[in-house]
Structure 1
């Protein structure tokens, strides 16, 4: 009898100390409803529904979207600096400019993520303005990189364009999530 009582008490303590996680369906519903009007809704849903961190609030989603964008920007930066070489002088100059632009984007997205992690009520508007400005600048950098390849054809241009377009799409979705977060606060 004492063993049974001990077992039941132990099970009760264990079950009360385990934090219940909301079901995946509710997480997917929040992501789906948040992504429906994003610039790239299917990409938004795919990247944020597979995100491994918390995605329970608009703030979580904005942070997750910026993390996705930052991760992809870092991968493109590595790709551009280690695996791509231009054949012509024009390609080399364009690549060099892209390396600089993507580096700036990584910095701006990093600042945005730091800002979103430390939002405070009294400075929320200012912080959101910073985040919107930095993500917009990252988008501009990504476009500027591609502008450098104007008049250039070939594999280097198509490889860079493919990578940069992907980063620009997730960055655009990140900006959308930041705007949603800002609007949800009003």
Structure 2
């Protein structure tokens, strides 16, 4: 019986070398698990950081396709005016306006282009009468100049209609497709009225009318350029809004740039 008990107690007993080997194998497994977990954490962190960096780079790339939100007023005017046939007169005329509030909004810059076109054309309204006083002995030329007076008034009305259409309430859109169509019609008409004045003078083809024609052309050059600029800007408005990353949007009262017209 005692032998049986001793034999039972000794059953399964591990000697010291085997126990040391077992412990060594256990430590090795634990080290492998710890190292694997550490590497896994590093891989996850690297993936997250890489994804975030790629997203930021993509956003930066997308932003570079449009005009920066921090663009200056001068650069905004230049960008808008570059779609016109006469960018120099566009930039100089708008930049010379005294503004109560600066703006980088292409829609507001368009309004300023209307204002300078209106100012310049209004300044021409007295020119036909001044020229009539010089050529009152030529009835045909006087009649042509009187017609110019009427054409100028019509042109002023067309630009004034354009300006009025841009005065909107709090819940109205500054520009809509139908309004853009109307603006293009009004501005095209204004240019046509101005050109009709010159055509009438040119048809006379007399020595005195040629001199008046050249004087009238010189006086009207800037006016016709500025009206053409406004027409070009509104015709390219959707392209400009896309470039500035600005939709045709609703305006709030008080955010409109107001031009101070010199008397």
TM-score range, shorter chain: 0.7 to 0.9
Q: Does 1:27 align with 2:73?
A: yes
The counterpart of 2:131, out of the listed 81, 84, 90, is 84
Report the TM-score when normalising by structure 2: 0.57
Deviates more, 1:130-139 or 1:153-162: 153-162
Give the deviation of 1:180 after TM superposition: 2.8
Q: For residues 1-186 of structure 1, what are the structure 2 equivalents within 5 Å?
A: 26-53=72-99, 54-81=102-129, 83-85=130-132, 86-87=135-136, 88-118=138-168, 120-121=172-173, 124-150=176-202, 151-152=205-206, 153-183=209-239, 184=241, 185=247
Residues in 2 aligned to 1:181 and 1:116: alpha-carbon distance in whole angstroms: 14
Structure 2: where are the runs of 5+ without partners? 1-69, 242-246, 249-263
Alignment CA distance shift 1:123-1:47 (3 Å): closer
Which is richer in helix? 1
RMSD: 2.4
Are 2:77 and 2:91, in contact at CA under 8 Å, matched by a contact in 1?
yes
User: Does the CA-based 8 Å contact 2:83-2:236 persist in structure 1?
Assistant: no
- Separation in 1 of the partners of 2:158 and 2:83? 24
CA contact (8 A) 1:63 1:117 kept: no
Count of aligned residue pairs for this structure pair: 163
Cα deviation, residue 172, structure 1:
0.3
Structure 1, unpaired ranges of 5+: 1-22
Kept after mapping to 1: 8 A contact 2:128/2:145: yes
Q: Which has the larger radius of gyration?
A: 2
User: For structure 1, which segment, 60-69 or 154-163, has the greater mean C-alpha deviation from structure 2 after superposition?
Assistant: 154-163
Q: CA 1:125/1:143 → structure 2, altered by over 3 Å: closer, same or farther?
A: same
Q: Residues of 1 paired with 2:201 and 2:166: CA distance?
A: 33
1:161, CA displacement in angstroms? 1.5
